Structure 1
Amino acid sequence: MDFHYLVQSQFIDKNNLVRISAALNEFHANKDAIIDARVCRGKANKVVNNWYILKLELMQSVIPSIRNSGVTAQWSADATEHVHITEIKVPVRSDEKQNIKALADAARSHMDNKDTDDIEVLQHKPVGSVPLPLHSFAIGHIAFHLAYDPSIQNISIDDVTLKFNLPDLRPALSNFLHHEASSEHDHIHAIGGPRRARPNAVLPFKKV
């Protein structure tokens, strides 16, 4: 247990490697007691009197792997699994009768045909005639199609600041609005520079 928890650390230094190695050595030093007690059992509850276990063999290469390639946490599939749950499993459960393959084929066909044509049309529309906000747009040879429903639809400025670690968000928004209000209608002002607004600057809105 110590070994498994220690190797999941996001940062592992030489001292951590010593602790990981010690945990593994402690297991090997005492594993005969498990065999002697006949509590290591396999299929059909049959007693196993050896340690020919592939996962146990793999544990021997963990420390050399960390030294050569870094922490094992970087190989975790947790992030992609979470996305798979939110983007695939949850929508499917909401309507189990939907045919996923048909939806995928329809979406692919839709993007290959209609959206590509729509983006071409948008590029040649007169300035100011395209309805906003844009869900599909192109920059050079790259086309962007935004999701219809954002994952976060209503959140306070303060919550955004904490959630995404943006301590200067409020003063940045205040400065932007100040420049926007003081600039001419067709003038495009720069975004950046020193923050003149205070961290507790008052904004004309509370949520985004």
Structure 2
Amino acid sequence: MKIWYCFTPLITYVADTPEELIIACATMNSLPVTIATCGDFGDPIQHPPCDGSSTLANITAIITSILPSDLIVFFKACKHYNLNGVNLPFWRNWFAANPSSFLIPELLHHLHKMFWDHDHLWCTTVVGSQEIDFRFVLLQVWTDHHNVQWYIIGVIAGAAPTDFISAIRALMEFKYLTEAPHFTKKQVVHLDCCLKVFHWLKQSIVDTGAWWGKGGGDKPWAIPKLELLQGVVPSIYSHGTVMQWSTDPTEHVHIRVVKEPSRAGNNHNYDAQVCRHLDRRDKVECFDLILQIYDPTLMKMTVDKAAGNFSLPDLCPAVSDHLN
């Protein structure tokens, strides 16, 4: 008899940046996948990975002398190692699970949201909000989030310095090339080249006054998402295309489970109203399912909007009486 030791590997965990920091037990001034801190975020290189075993070793070293229940002292000791105070990460006993490996770039938060948090603001600062709005009006397109990204280079052309436009264009080209469904070796090299061009020209963004960073000085690029872009090419080699990993399902669940119930309330007793809304919607959906199981024709009802009456077939008088 042969005994096989089987386990489920943790290949990827798709999340936004704050969630990744929590998973990796890292603080806000560091990264979940590398040892880089806020002073290194603008470097044009990828820093060494933050290995999960090192994180667990640091947590163990702190716990040997300080109890996690002593919160103030424990958190203070964790900050020395750029840890956020989580002492029992869920992946600690998961064989071969390493945050620097399974936390990968994601299109929505790491690329598209970065455009609205930074690229769009840089362009607005240099060109001016009124001028950008006027130029978008001339395009005669519906100005939604997608179109702003598509046309931003053409919109700022002629109204911003050449190096500034080239830097934004290189960054935008990097983001759109990342969405490719498949890659050749030549395409990956071109993708990496786009990011290098941006770092070569990014000083023009500072020179125009569009960005000085929170602290300014010699290291103005304290942008975590900018440093995370260094992991896109390695992620393509190790996990395949970035397009296949998405937070769209969870974001849509957030709309259905949180935003829609919130809009149905009156902004008082938020938690109780959301839970009540979800409970009632669940009961309605279960009731509809029972009707469909009993007889699909029962769902073919006509609604009189003026009177608010439901007309059901005479197949089930009890159900019809209940609804009416």
TM-score interval, normalised by the smaller of the two chains: 0.3 to 0.5
Rg (Cα) greater in structure: 1
Q: Structure 1 length as normaliser, TM-score?
A: 0.42
Structure with the greater relative contact order (CA < 8 A, sep ≥ 6): 1 or 2? 2
Greater fraction helix: 2
Q: Structure 2 length as normaliser, TM-score?
A: 0.29
